[in-house]
């Protein structure tokens, strides 16, 4: 069925949904108990030396990218919002390979185009969120995720788009 009905285009869904499951690898590990922030559905995550996950953000490198947090089993508990979060100490499902819906905060994705994650704030990019996905580079403020590509280049009105992780970056 096409993604259009009576002249309207349907949304792609919520961040953190596994959108194409034929080639997905999903891993579950605990969110680092000492972290001060949780990992929201769709966030990029890093694998820590103690076999736990943390939200990717300031100071992280492309090599530390482990995958994208999924809304695989856990659900949002606030029914007025689609956001859900894995709190420190919670088990967290992460797509290590496959296609996932994410929010693209800066730029317009192009099919097969590069995926960047913001690791530092930039006042000239007010929509840029540390730990957020972007479709354009911003010097040292973003890192290129070399094993990820924008899937279709389509982005809905909520800025949700699909990212495909081509190969596993972490064991």
pLDDT per position as a tens digit, 102-157: 999 999 999 999 999 999 999 999 999 999 999 999 999 999 999 999 999 899 99
Closest CA to 128 of 144, 117, 139: 117
Q: Is 171 inside any structural domain?
A: no
pLDDT per position as a tens digit, 72-110: 765 555 555 556 899 999 999 999 999 999 999 999 999
* Range of the structural domain that residue 21 is part of: 4-165
Rounded to the nearest 5 percent, the helix, strand and coil shares of the chain are 5, 45, 50
Q: Is 170 inside any structural domain?
A: no
Q: Is 149 inside any structural domain?
A: yes
Q: Across-strand partners of 133?
A: 104, 117
Per the structure, the count of domains in the chain is 1
For the chain, the first-to-last Cα distance in angstroms comes to 37
Q: Tokens for 1?
A: 């069925």
Q: Is 155 inside any structural domain?
A: yes
Q: How confident is the model at residue 169 (pLDDT cuts 50, 70, 90)?
A: confident
Q: Is 19 inside any structural domain?
A: yes
Q: Is 102 inside any structural domain?
A: yes
The helix (H) or strand (E) run that includes residue 56 is none
Q: Is 32 inside any structural domain?
A: yes
Q: Tell me 16's DSSP state.
A: T
pLDDT at 2 over 60: no
What is the pLDDT, as a whole number, of residue 1? Answer: 43
Q: How confident is the model at residue 11 (pLDDT cuts 50, 70, 90)?
A: confident
Closest CA to 102 of 72, 141, 134: 134
Q: Tell me 128's DSSP state.
A: -
What is the pLDDT, as a whole number, of residue 13? Answer: 79
Q: Is 70 inside any structural domain?
A: yes
């Amino acid at each position: 069925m096409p993604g259009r009905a009576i002249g309207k285009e349907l949304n792609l869904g919520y961040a953190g949904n596994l959108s194409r499951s034929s080639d997905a690898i999903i891993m579950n590990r605990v969110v680092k108990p000492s972290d001060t922030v949780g990992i929201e559905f769709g966030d990029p995550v890093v694998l820590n030396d103690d076999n736990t996950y943390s939200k990717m953000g300031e100071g992280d490198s492309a090599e530390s990218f482990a995958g994208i947090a999924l809304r695989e089993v856990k659900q949002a508990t606030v029914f007025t919002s689609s956001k859900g979060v894995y709190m420190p100490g919670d088990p967290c499902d992460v797509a290590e390979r496959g296609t996932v819906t994410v929010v693209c905060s800066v730029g317009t994705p192009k099919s097969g185009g590069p995926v960047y994650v913001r690791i530092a704030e930039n006042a000239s990019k007010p929509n840029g969120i540390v730990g957020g996905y972007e479709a354009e580079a911003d010097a040292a403020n973003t890192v290129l995720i070399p094993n990820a590509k924008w899937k279709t280049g389509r982005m809905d009105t909520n800025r949700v788009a699909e990212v495909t992780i081509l190969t596993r970056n972490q064991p």
